[in-house]
């Protein structure tokens, strides 16, 4: 099949490469001409802009995969494509767009006869080699039409043991992609996926912090352990119940530098964690771990907050407690 890819960052470029590796033809464009040129030299058809990209897609219905950061840049790109494509054509947003924006956008594009798919895409920089886990929302006919594209991008069955009792279920899930539901459902599922990711990462980070601080001289000497974090991460990879890709990445980082000295500890959040907590509030679903992991990321970007100053002032007021370092 032939597909246009707009946005050739870390994931967009590798999505194009994986599709070409599977025999699909890609027409690519990025605002950075050098990036477009690189993919052109690798076999993609390089476009000079969105009108040129659409013009280089002779197959109908035409499909354009937009892989850009959520927000204005994605909104403007899809609006432009909406004026260039024809009824029946398909626009895919494979970034981390807020699902409510998908619902609004899908309705607007449907008025023009265009089909819109929101595709939650997980796999990061490893997707080229490992494949991408895809969570798709939108029109079922459009999803079926693009099945060869999704199958090429997904990991496939691989070596993971098959789940007993799935006979008769949709086989696509075992291959790494699902049609989650109507427009918005794909990004909603991916949003919750990322919220869970926040919680898993925070639990692992806190665990290793407790292990590291067992060497503190504030503990009784016979309860003080100087633990090898790299070895612990490695042994947990082999047969333990916390084995995971996140643990693999942690073990790799600790093997390179057990002090993680090149990292500041300032942790960004890209939006999905916030949206997950908002969804939990809308549904009145308790989400203690996910909310706490999000707030911890906020905290990582500050030194001391005004709230902590208020706490110190209250402690000094009722008990004369002086802050450490000011005695």
Is residue 56 among the annotated active site residues? Answer: no
Q: One of 42, 75, 197, 234 is an active-site residue; which one?
A: 197
SS (H, E, C) the chain: CEEEEECCCHHHHHHHHHHHHCCCEEEEECCCHHHHHHHHHCCCEECCCHHHHHHCCCCCCCEEEECCCCCHHHHHHHHHHHHHCCCCCEEEECCCCCHHHHHHHHHHHHCCCCEEEEEEEECHHHHHHHCCEEEEECCHHHHHHCHHHHHHHCCCCCCCCCCCCCCCCCCHHHHCEEEEECCCHHHHHHHHHHHHHHHHHHHHHHHHHHHHHHHCCCCCHHHCCCCCHHHHHHHHCCCCCCCCHHHHHHHHHHHHCCCCCCCCCCCCCCCHHHHHHHHHHHHCCCCHHHHHHHHHHHHHCCCCCHHHHHHHHHHHHHHCCCCCCCC
Query: What are the structure tokens assigned to 171, written together?
Result: 């086989």
Is residue 197 among the annotated active site residues? Answer: yes
Query: What are the structure tokens assigned to 52, written together?
Result: 């040129």
Q: One of 56, 174, 190, 272 is an active-site residue; which one?
A: 190
Q: List active site positions.
A: 190, 197
């Amino acid at each position: 099949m032939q597909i246009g890819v707009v946005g050739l960052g870390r994931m967009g470029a590798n999505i194009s490469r994986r599709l070409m590796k599977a025999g699909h033809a890609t027409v690519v464009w990025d605002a950075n001409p050098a990036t477009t040129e690189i993919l052109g030299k690798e076999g993609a058809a390089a476009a000079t802009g969105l009108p040129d990209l659409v013009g280089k897609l002779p197959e109908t219905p035409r499909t354009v995969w937009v892989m850009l950061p959520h927000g204005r840049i994605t909104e403007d790109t899809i609006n432009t494509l909406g004026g260039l494509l024809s009824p029946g054509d398909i626009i895919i947003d494979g970034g981390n767009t807020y699902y409510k924006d998908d619902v609004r956008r899908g309705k607007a594009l449907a008025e023009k006869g265009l089909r819109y798919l929101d595709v939650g895409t997980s796999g990061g920089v490893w997707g080229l080699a490992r494949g991408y886990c895809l969570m798709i929302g939108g029109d079922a006919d459009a999803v079926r039409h693009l099945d060869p594209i999704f199958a090429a991008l997904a990991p496939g069955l691989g070596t993971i043991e098959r789940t007993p009792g799935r006979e008769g279920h949709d086989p696509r899930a075992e291959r790494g992609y699902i049609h989650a539901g109507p427009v918005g459902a794909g990004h909603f599922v991916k949003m919750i996926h990322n919220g869970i990711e926040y919680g898993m990462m925070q639990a692992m980070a806190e665990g290793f912090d407790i292990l590291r601080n067992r060497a503190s001289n504030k503990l009784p000497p016979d309860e003080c352990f100087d633990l090898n974090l790299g070895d612990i991460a490695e042994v947990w990879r082999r047969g333990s119940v916390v084995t995971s890709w996140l643990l693999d990445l942690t073990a790799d980082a600790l093997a390179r530098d057990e002090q993680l000295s090149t990292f500041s500890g300032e942790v960004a959040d890209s939006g999905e964690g916030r949206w997950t907590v908002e969804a939990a509030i809308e549904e009145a679903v308790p989400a203690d771990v996910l909310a706490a992991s999000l707030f911890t990321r906020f905290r990582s970007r500050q030194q001391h907050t005004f709230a902590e100053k208020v706490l110190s002032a209250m402690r000094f007021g009722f008990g004369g407690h002086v802050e450490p370092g000011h005695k």
